Chain A
Amino acid sequence: MDFATLDKKAATLRIDALTAIHKANSGHTGSSMSCMDILVALYYGGVMRIDPKKPQMPDRDYFVLSKGHGAPALYAILADLGFFDKSELDHLRQASALLQGHPVIKIPGIEATTGSLGQGISMAVGIALAIKADREDRDVFALLGDGELQEGQVWEAAMAAAHYRLDNLVAIVDHNKLQIDGPCSGVMNVAPIADKFEAFGWKVIPLVSGHNIEELVLAITKAKNIARQPTVIVAPTVKGKGVPFAENKVSYHGVALSEAEMAEVVPLLQGVGDRV
């Protein structure tokens, strides 16, 4: 696999997501940027069985965006893959438009209605349990935020996934270390994340960087082959990644970039492609 091409793809999709948020003048910039490379690894890394032409394909794998506010990143990918027309991105968060502020099931390619934190991972557990009950060979992937781990329901889900030995479930934590009110460590410390999941009975795969798509694809491939227990990939990321002035800035959690900021960042992201 040509991972340099995927880096370029992620940069292009960052522009699409930022543009959609900019046009809406509303949306989660920092979070969409921190999870983009993880989503690119999932959707372009050959690890997930999906077909944009057949969104309801009976043997497809499932993806649940438990951190639903990362929706613009996922929407950019689904549009790029052809689940829906790319022009829908221009109407993100607008009245009567398809693309809601947080993912809803009626959008082609979206499997679970999320946005209320903590619920998506439980839904992923439910899908994985139903797959097991039907004796099918399908995987369920869920992306969580690190702030989201403060929701008690996440740990209820973690307990259930281990109890039912859901080895068809792979969770990925977008560990960007920031939330709306400040650093996670200051608002409500979630560390140590890996130890907690391990104690709950999960296999933990810690990454060096959640922005290294090759490392992500290898980890996801490994996670799919873990038997008799669920796996969590803890992916250290940078909130606002790819937007230098927004990186690691709490203030860019839920705001759109201005016209001037877009003019500054778009050439930089286009340059990622050029360097390849």
Chain B
Amino acid sequence: MEKIATRAAFGEAIAELGAKYRNIMVLDADLASSTKTLKFAQAFPGRHFNIGIAEQNMMSIAAGMAIKGKIPFACTFAIFATGRAWEQIRNGIAYPNLNVKVVGSHSGIMTGEDGATHQALEDIAVMRAIPNMKVFCPADAYETKAVIASMCEDFGPVYLRLGRSAVPVLYDEKYRFKPGKGDVLRDGTDITIFAVGSTVSRALSAAEILESQGVSARVCNMCSIKPIDEDLILESARKTKKLFSVEDHQIIGGLGSAISEVLAEAGSGIPLKRIGMHKFGESGKDEDLYRKYGLDAEGIVRVVSG
């Protein structure tokens, strides 16, 4: 199976879209080689700005560019984008509803060897709490491209969550992304697994293992974490009666929390088991970490079967 990192797909997409949207500006904080924006920088040198290791300044500069009618993409590791510069995003970008796209690469324990300081595990929680802010976390290269195309068309601030490692290709170039819409990648009748980003392909693998054990699993890709697809969540609750969420993020405040809110407010009474991180990460190979923290297919199966 072909594998491409979502950050690599972002680099391709933004370089392509730069020709179509002349007002796209790309900002980096000394991590352009990691956020994969060098192709854009080469194609449009007058529209790429390295701000240096100064994420707060980068976010507010992006706000200023948006004030002047630009579509700035402010890119750095997810932890620094959403953590270091949270208040600049909250007060300077989201509150005035500016058209800034915050791009956080290297999210989750998938970041691997750099260890816990570089693994954003609370970014979904802190971004989705902010009014006006949308949160998208694509599962593969084609979804990443589709999400970015949608972001360029729709006005307003977005947090785009990307990952470091290559992930299996699930879609093709015909795929269209719609904010607020989940995608049923595999239907099933016994349980539903809601997954996002890097965990989507793992949830699909888990569903195959479960199938062999006689459990029919529906797998939903919840790339649009905010707005979230309430209809799909409630329909899945009616149809399968047993729900699971899986994310490379703390279980507090992330995808599982967002789904819980929908289920509780609708009075569904259907339980949801959240699979995700409960603590800080550590250094290690991404696959070793996913195995250790139960975010791989086997880990998901263990929870479902348990």
Chain B CB within 8 A of A130 CB:
yes
Chain A CB within 8 A of B18 CB:
no
Residues of B within 8 A of A163 (CB): 52
Please report the C-alpha to C-alpha distance between residue A123 and residue B92 in the assembled complex, in whole angstroms.
8
Question: What is the 8 Å Cβ interface bit string for chain B, positions 41-71, against chain A (1 contact, 0 not)?
Answer: 0000011010110101101111111111110
Chain A CB within 8 A of B91 CB:
yes
Q: Are A104 and B64 in contact (CB under 8 A)?
A: no
Q: Are B49 and A129 in contact (CB under 8 A)?
A: yes
Residue among A104, A111, A133, A153 making CB contact with B25, cutoff 8 Å:
A133
How many whole Å from B29's CB to the nearest CB in chain A?
A: 10
How many whole Å from B119's CB to the nearest CB in chain A?
A: 25
Q: Are B96 and A126 in contact (CB under 8 A)?
A: no
Question: What is the 8 Å Cβ interface bit string for chain A, positions 57-75, against chain B (1 contact, 0 not)?
Answer: 0000010100000000000
A153-B60 CB under 8 A given contacts A127-B65, A130-B68: yes
Closest to A122 in B: B60
Question: What is the 8 Å Cβ interface bit string for chain A, positions 122-138, against chain B (1 contact, 0 not)?
Answer: 11111111110110000
Residue among A130, A133, A134, A156 making CB contact with B57, cutoff 8 Å:
A156
CB interface residues, A 150-174, toward B, < 8 Å:
152-153, 156-157, 159-160, 163-164
Closest to A133 in B: B46
Closest to B90 in A: A116
Residues of B within 8 A of A119 (CB): 56, 60, 63, 88, 91-92
Residues of B within 8 A of A118 (CB): 56
Chain B CB within 8 A of A112 CB:
yes
Q: Are B91 and A153 in contact (CB under 8 A)?
A: no
Chain A CB within 8 A of B261 CB:
no
Please report the C-alpha to C-alpha distance between residue A228 and residue B245 in the assembled complex, in whole angstroms.
55
A122-B91 CB under 8 A given contacts A129-B49, A133-B47, A153-B56: no
Residues of B within 8 A of A276 (CB): none
Please report the C-alpha to C-alpha distance between residue A129 and residue B49 in the assembled complex, in whole angstroms.
9
Q: Are B65 and A113 in contact (CB under 8 A)?
A: no
How many whole Å from B22's CB to the nearest CB in chain A?
A: 10
Chain B CB within 8 A of A105 CB:
yes
Residues of A within 8 A of B154 (CB): none
Residue among B52, B67, B68, B91 making CB contact with A159, cutoff 8 Å:
B52
Residues of B within 8 A of A134 (CB): 68
Residues of A within 8 A of B25 (CB): 130, 133
How many whole Å from A56's CB to the nearest CB in chain B?
A: 10
Chain A CB within 8 A of B187 CB:
no
Chain B CB within 8 A of A115 CB:
yes
Residues of A within 8 A of B54 (CB): 153, 156, 159-160
Residue among A105, A120, A126 making CB contact with B68, cutoff 8 Å:
A126
Smallest CB-CB A-B distances: 5 pairs? A126-B64, A122-B60, A156-B57, A130-B68, A126-B61
Q: Are B51 and A105 in contact (CB under 8 A)?
A: no
How many whole Å from A149's CB to the nearest CB in chain B?
A: 15
Residues of B within 8 A of A122 (CB): 56-57, 59-61, 63-64, 88
Given contacts A105-B96, A116-B92, A157-B57, 17 further A-B contacts (CB under 8 A): A112-B63, A113-B91, A113-B96, A115-B91, A118-B56, A122-B63, A122-B88, A125-B64, A126-B61, A126-B62, A126-B64, A126-B67, A129-B64, A130-B69, A156-B56, A160-B54, A160-B57
Q: Are B47 and A127 in contact (CB under 8 A)?
A: no
Q: Are A124 and B87 in contact (CB under 8 A)?
A: no
Please report the C-alpha to C-alpha distance between residue A164 and residue B63 in the assembled complex, in whole angstroms.
17
Residues of B within 8 A of A126 (CB): 60-68, 72
Residues of A within 8 A of B67 (CB): 62, 105, 111-112, 123, 126-127, 130
Residues of A within 8 A of B95 (CB): 104, 113
Residues of A within 8 A of B64 (CB): 64, 112, 122-130
Residues of A within 8 A of B57 (CB): 122, 125, 153, 156-157, 160
Q: Which of B49, B61, B63 has the most CB of A within 10 A?
A: B61
Q: Which of B60, B67, B87 has the most CB of A within 10 A?
A: B60
Question: What is the 8 Å Cβ interface bit string for chain A, positions 93-110, against chain B (1 contact, 0 not)?
Answer: 000000000001110000
Closest to A68 in B: B91
Q: Are B63 and A123 in contact (CB under 8 A)?
A: yes
CB interface residues, B 83-126, toward A, < 8 Å:
87-88, 91-92, 95-96, 98
Residue among B56, B68, B87, B92 making CB contact with A127, cutoff 8 Å:
B68
Closest to A130 in B: B68
Please report the C-alpha to C-alpha distance between residue A131 and residue B25 in the assembled complex, in whole angstroms.
12
Please report the C-alpha to C-alpha distance between residue A154 and residue B85 in the assembled complex, in whole angstroms.
14
Q: Are A130 and B65 in contact (CB under 8 A)?
A: yes
